[in-house]
Amino acid sequence: MGAPNLDTRLTEYVPGRIWLKKYSVHYAGADFFARTTFIRLNDGRVLVHSPCPIDDALVEQLQNIGPVAHVVAPGSYHYFYVSAWQDAYPEATTWICPGVERKLPGLRFDWLLGDRSPQVWEGQIDQVLVRGTRFIVEVAFFHRASQTLVLTDLVENIGDGSPGGSDWLLRFWWKAVFRMWNRPKPAPEYQMGWSDKAAARASLERILAWDIERVVLAHGDCIEADAKARLREAWATPLAG
Ligand SMILES: [Fe+2]
């Protein structure tokens, strides 16, 4: 069972630069959705961030955007469809967030992501490996030209207006337990344990130093107004560490 009425079309988000696609997710008994981000680099090649299920229609649509050259599993919960993309694009380079190699030992990958951008997107996309977390890890990406921060689970923004946000179990957990319904916050796996708040704060402050105009999230509605203020609010707990 997937999220009802979910618009899963590939949509151009930043003209000529960034495309987004939603897909249904069933996790911990709840239905919601996740979002894949496609970034066209200056050389025309495409980076797939947090890969979604792939099918022939999507491959065909991507042909109009550019060759898929990079498959990125940016977080410790965002690697599920990497091998399907590797099968479709055998020449693509696979980049994973540290920890994914332990969660999925058989996964083929080329490089671990860290704080330094690799040469292939240096100067175009900045990145921070967020430290000081106990249960979940991710690498945050910042696309300079469009001033777009791309996150997986560091902020979730699910509420009344979110497509697929009507699942009762999700609503219960988000409202009653984590108090993050209609209020952007880190995923529960972050909220359940910051192992080193000072380290987390240092990572988050590095992200906040970027000139962020908008935030693309894996779960919930993207943030397009007052982005930095919303981020500071969402991260109030670790930032106070
Ligand atoms: Fe996630």
Ligand 1 centre distance from Cα of residue 174 (Å): 14
DSSP 64-114: TT--EEEEEE-BTT--TTHHHHHHH-TTSEEEE-TTHHHHSTT---SEE--
Full pLDDT tens readout for the chain, 241 residues: 444 578 899 999 999 999 999 999 887 777 889 999 999 999 999 999 999 999 999 999 999 999 999 999 999 999 999 999 999 999 999 999 999 999 999 999 999 999 999 999 999 999 999 999 999 999 999 999 999 999 999 999 988 777 655 677 777 777 777 777 788 999 999 999 899 999 999 999 999 999 999 999 999 999 999 999 999 999 999 999 7
Bridge partners (DSSP) of residue 149 are 142, 215
What is the rounded radius of gyration, in angstroms, for the C-alpha atoms of the chain?
Answer: 17
pLDDT, position 141? 98
Ligand 1 centre distance from Cα of residue 59 (Å): 23
Ligand 1 centre distance from Cα of residue 149 (Å): 15
* Greatest CA separation for the chain: 47
pLDDT, position 2? 47
pLDDT, position 166? 61
Ligand 1 centre distance from Cα of residue 68 (Å): 22
Taking a C-beta distance cutoff of 8 angstroms, is the pair 76, 100 a contact?
A: yes
pTM of the predicted protein model: 0.94
Ligand 1 centre distance from Cα of residue 76 (Å): 8
Ligand 1 centre distance from Cα of residue 52 (Å): 12
pLDDT, position 130? 98
Ligand 1 centre distance from Cα of residue 217 (Å): 9
Ligand 1 centre distance from Cα of residue 144 (Å): 23
Residue that has been written with the tokens 């469009």 in this structure: 146
Ligand 1 centre distance from Cα of residue 62 (Å): 23
Ligand 1 centre distance from Cα of residue 77 (Å): 6
Label residues 55-84 b or e (16+ Cβ within 10 Å = b): eeebeeebeebeebbbbbbbbbbbbebbbe
Ligand 1 centre distance from Cα of residue 164 (Å): 15
Which residues lie closer than 8 Å to 128 by C-beta, 6 or more apart? 115, 139, 140, 203, 206, 207
Ligand 1 centre distance from Cα of residue 34 (Å): 7
Report the alpha-carbon distance of residue 139 to residue 129 in Å, rounded: 4
pLDDT, position 124? 98
Which residues lie closer than 8 Å to 177 by C-beta, 6 or more apart? 188
Ligand 1 centre distance from Cα of residue 92 (Å): 23
